[in-house]
Structure 1
Amino acid sequence: MKNKKIESIFLLPSLLGVLLFFLIPFIVIIYYSLINNPMEQKFVFLDNFSALLDNSAFILAAKNTAIFSLLAVPLAVILSLALALLLESKIPYKSQFRTFFLSPMMVPVASVVLVWKVVFNFNGPINSFIAVFGLEPINWLKSDYSQLVIIILFLWKNLGYNMILFMAGLNSIPKTLLEVAEIENASPWFKFVQIKLRFISPTILFVALLSLINSFKVFREIHLLTGDYPYDSLYMLQHFMNNTFKALDYQKLATAAILMGIVMIVIIGILFIIENYFGKDVEG
């Protein structure tokens, strides 16, 4: 009994921290999303949600964020898995290859942004290169190609870490299964789909979730490159949240946060269902 009391005392600071920094703010956000403003505090139920869905800035930000995540996250998962499989094979300069893709993790974001500003400048090396082929220079960050620039930046920053996670997952596959498949003359495609993919399905889920979270954090790079109000195709949900916070529009901010949370929960739930379906027969 005394031991349980002691354990409860040690747990108390953590419980207070969760209550103070997670539970109470969550309840406050829900409350703000259901009232008209902090002064009158009149209950309006779902009026804030319908007003937000009619807000052109929110619609633009949500559309751009969805497009970016739908393009960047699958690319991050597929390319990092391909790199991990490549490093599994016998290739020359394997350690140098691995170091090259891990090096972006050691570079500060501000330095990366500076490099991108120089490379994709109107008078930068990319435009100089395409001019050799007789193409007109492009203002990359203020054109329809702007999301492509950020996707390249996102992949460059995240592929290395994802690749290491996949390499760890591939190394955990029982070697006996691969040896049996080899003896049975199984094709490389069969070994990849029926053995490797099934055993690394938890790793695929983790990398997909990590990439999804990082795709929502790309605001840092975009903000440093373009400021609060970038070209339309780069205006993300984080820009909308940041600008709404500066305007002290708590109702709009809280409502957007709840909608964003609901969407994330649905996406994560779908990913867990898919992983459970493909990995259920290799559990245990």
Structure 2
Amino acid sequence: MKKKKKGFLLAFPAISGFLFFYLIPFLIVLWYSVSFGIGKREFVGLDNYKELFKNTMFLLAVKNTCKYMLVTIPVTLGTALCISVILQQITKGQKIFRLSFLYPIIMPIASIVLVIQFFFKNNGFLNLILNFFYLPEKDWLHTSSAFWIICILYFWKFVGYYIFIYSSRLQMIPKEYYEYASLHGAGKWQSFYYITCPILFPVILFTLILSIMNAFKCYREAFLLGGTHPDNSIYFLQHFMNNNLQNLNYQKVSASATIITVFILFLSGLIYMIYYFLKRRTADA
């Protein structure tokens, strides 16, 4: 009992901080999403959500956000996995390579955006090259090309972060596993499939949840490149929420925030269920 009390006392600051800064504000947002009025609010049920799904800008933001995640997450995680496996074969300079991949995530986002504008603005470097070869110039940041620029920026920023996570887990795999497999005639692909993949699978699921959460943080880049009303291709849910917050439309903001939270919790729960099912299946086998 004493150990339990001590454990609770040690965890109390973290628990109280979570309740005060996360849970209570979320409950307030949840109440705002099902109510209407200024001062004294009235319960309106799901009316705010129904109006939200009739809003064309909200539907555009949902479509762009989902498209953004479907493009960036598989490419980024797949590339990070491949590079981390290749790095395991390098004996010299491995630490330098891994640390170099972390530089993009610690760089200030404002400086990164300035570099992008240097290349992709109307009078930027790429248009100067096109003009030099008598080719038509292109408005990169205010057309559908802006979407792919944001995707490349996400890839460049986070691929090194996931490489670092995968490499750290790969280094924990005992080399004896691979030596034992090679003695029994297993090739590199067989060792990767039967040894590396099962051990790395929980980490892949963890980075999948992490990448989904990071994908919702793309607003800073999109805002600095296109402003509050960017090209339709990079109009994300954060733009919709920010614009409605400026208009003091708390109902739409709260409903949007609740949908995002439920979406992340649903995906996290689904990923955990897949992991639990596969873990139990492996244990039974």
After TM superposition, the score normalised by the length of structure 1 is 0.89
Partner of 2:227: 227
- 2:84 is aligned with 1:73: no
Whole-Å Cα distance in 1 between the matches of residues 187 and 131 of structure 2? 46
User: SS in structure 2 opposite 1:230?
Assistant: coil
Q: Contact 1:199 / 1:279 at 8 angstroms: preserved in 2? A: no
Partner of 2:217: 217
Partner of 2:119: 119
How much does 1:249 deviate? 1.1
Whole-Å Cα distance in 1 between the matches of residues 100 and 14 of structure 2? 40
Which shifted more, 49-58 or 131-140?
Answer: 131-140
Amino acid at match of 1:183: L
Whole-Å Cα distance in 2 between the matches of residues 92 and 107 of structure 1? 26
- 2:268 is aligned with 1:268: yes
Whole-Å Cα distance in 2 between the matches of residues 197 and 5 of structure 1? 40
How much does 1:10 deviate? 6.2
After TM superposition, the score normalised by the length of structure 2 is 0.88
Could you list the per-position Cα deviations for residues 172-221 of structure 1 after superposition, in whole angstroms to 9, with x for gaps in the alignment?
22322211211122122221122111101111112112211111101111
Could you list the per-position Cα deviations for residues 43-75 of structure 1 after superposition, in whole angstroms to 9, with x for gaps in the alignment?
211111100110111111111111001111111
How much does 1:90 deviate? 3.1
Whole-Å Cα distance in 1 between the matches of residues 90 and 18 of structure 2? 48
Q: Contact 1:61 / 1:236 at 8 angstroms: preserved in 2? A: yes
Whole-Å Cα distance in 2 between the matches of residues 22 and 78 of structure 1? 32
Within 5 A, what are the aligned runs for 1:122-201?
122-129=122-129, 135-201=135-201
Whole-Å Cα distance in 1 between the matches of residues 9 and 166 of structure 2? 40
Amino acid at match of 2:164: I
Which shifted more, 31-40 or 145-154?
Answer: 31-40
Q: Contact 1:146 / 1:233 at 8 angstroms: preserved in 2? A: yes
Whole-Å Cα distance in 1 between the matches of residues 270 and 21 of structure 2? 28
- RMSD between aligned residues: 2.6
Show structure 2 runs of 5+ residues with no match: none
How much does 1:277 deviate? 4.2
Percent identity reads 35
Partner of 1:24: 24
Whole-Å Cα distance in 2 between the matches of residues 125 and 158 of structure 1? 25
Taking a change above 3 Å as real, the CA distance of residues 82 and 135 of structure 1, as seen in their structure-2 partners, is: farther
Which shifted more, 76-85 or 117-126?
Answer: 117-126
Q: Contact 1:64 / 1:235 at 8 angstroms: preserved in 2? A: yes
Partner of 1:84: 84
Q: Contact 1:219 / 1:239 at 8 angstroms: preserved in 2? A: yes
Whole-Å Cα distance in 2 between the matches of residues 95 and 18 of structure 1? 36
